[in-house]
Structure 1
Amino acid sequence: MSNFRQYEDAIALYHNSLSIKTVPVYSWDFHNDFVCVIKNFFADLNKLNAIALQNKWAQNNWDLKNSLKEEVIVVTDVTLKIVFASHNMETMNGYTAKEVLGKSPKMFQGEATNQITSSEIRKAILHQQPFEKTVMNYKKNGEVYVCLIKGFPVFNSKGELRHYIAFEKAA
């Protein structure tokens, strides 16, 4: 039995001499938040890739991986109903992806939203052209925020309009 005691003492001495110490339990919250962000990133990327594959999106030059890290991505169908919203939308405006699915992006507009800018966006959508506009949108709590939107029509490999995709970030 004394051999086990000597072994345990040697292991304890070794671990106590290491410069790396254990992490306090309260840091688990930080780690868990990070893991959730990573899981949401890959879930969003997989959903976007599935939508693109299912609808046979034509080749484009979007860097979805970096965009998902830095921006909110919203995809609407041709009737402008939201079919995808990235998880980081909640950080930008307080809405979860589930809360916005099936709704129009107009839900973010309000009294402070410039109608001329909205009209220019509608015109670009009608003509199936890309646009880049800064708009005044509303968070879930009613607070106004400035949002830079880069919108693009998405065509399939046959050249048919399938979706619109918008890359958004608070300006």
Structure 2
Amino acid sequence: MKNKLSNMMCLDLFLSSQSEENYKAIEHQITTSESIKFPLKSFGLYIDYFSAEMHNLDRENDINVLKEFASKFNWNGNLDSIFKNEDFEAIVLTNKKQEIIWVNDGFKEMTGFNKKFALKKTPSFLQGENTCEKTRDDIRKKIQLNKPFIGSVINYKRNKMPYKCEIKIFPLFSKNTTHYIALEKAV
């Protein structure tokens, strides 16, 4: 049975790689010993599951990196509460001057800029001609209040394409605010 399942998965892989035209040309030849037509759908389900698991592992790793920063800088509070039920693509960690000290891999996927390029810059390097000045001012004012907030801004990818970015910013502190975490996603 194990060998039969393995063969079915191989067949599923092969069939999923075929164009619709090629599949239609061979469809009549695809049967099992029980004369049941294929293709299998299980491999697609497995890939969906595997992708979700990889996303969860990436998220967990990002949070663990931030926990190392929390230990280093003696931040008060629970980082897990920041991430609970939050959907994001990128994480940006800045110091008090809002200079980027760390970004996750999702930052490169979302913006096209690699991690090294982003370091020591402020997130404003992502802004451009269609970024609303009022929005920029609102973000600055909200950061000065040292309270968590949500906003959205027009940012620009490395390839100069604009995208609307939802940001959730959380101040991090020991005695005073020392850093900020921004959770970002394109909307």
The two structures have a TM-score, normalised by structure 2, of 0.68
Decide whether the 8 Å contact of 2:91 with 2:183 is kept in 1: yes
Q: Which residue of 2 aligns with 1:170?
A: 186
Q: Which residue of 2 aligns with 1:11?
A: none
Q: Which residue of 2 aligns with 1:63?
A: 83
CA displacement at 1:117 relative to structure 2: 0.7
Decide whether the 8 Å contact of 2:127 with 2:155 is kept in 1: yes
Distance 1:70-1:116 versus aligned 2 partners, 3 A rule: closer
Say yes or no: does 1:46 pair with 2:64: yes
> How many residues get paired?
150
> Could you tell me how far apart the structure 2 residues matched to 1:62 and 1:38 are?
16
Match of 2:142 among 111, 124, 134: 124
Decide whether the 8 Å contact of 2:94 with 2:180 is kept in 1: yes
Distance 1:36-1:103 versus aligned 2 partners, 3 A rule: farther
> Could you tell me how far apart the structure 2 residues matched to 1:43 and 1:120 are?
32
Identity of aligned residues (%): 33
Say yes or no: does 1:20 pair with 2:36: no
Q: Deviations over 1:67-120 (max 9, x none)?
A: 4x7431111000111011111112211112222111110110011000001001
> Could you tell me how far apart the structure 1 residues matched to 2:167 and 2:59 are?
20
> Could you tell me how far apart the structure 2 residues matched to 1:119 and 1:97 are?
26
Q: Which residue of 1 aligns with 2:35?
A: none
Distance 1:40-1:101 versus aligned 2 partners, 3 A rule: farther
Say yes or no: does 1:80 pair with 2:81: no
> Could you tell me how far apart the structure 2 residues matched to 1:77 and 1:84 are?
10
Q: Which residue of 1 aligns with 2:177?
A: 161
Deviates more, 1:40-49 or 1:120-129: 40-49
Larger RCO (CA within 8 A; separation ≥ 6): 1
Distance 1:101-1:36 versus aligned 2 partners, 3 A rule: farther
> Could you tell me how far apart the structure 2 residues matched to 1:50 and 1:107 are?
26
Distance 1:94-1:36 versus aligned 2 partners, 3 A rule: farther
- Computed over aligned residues only, the root mean square deviation of the Cα atoms, in angstroms, reads 2.8
Which amino acid in the other structure matches residue 81 of structure 1? E
Distance 1:15-1:169 versus aligned 2 partners, 3 A rule: closer
CA displacement at 1:20 relative to structure 2: 2.5
Which amino acid in the other structure matches residue 149 of structure 1? I
CA displacement at 1:63 relative to structure 2: 2.0
The two structures have a TM-score, normalised by structure 1, of 0.74
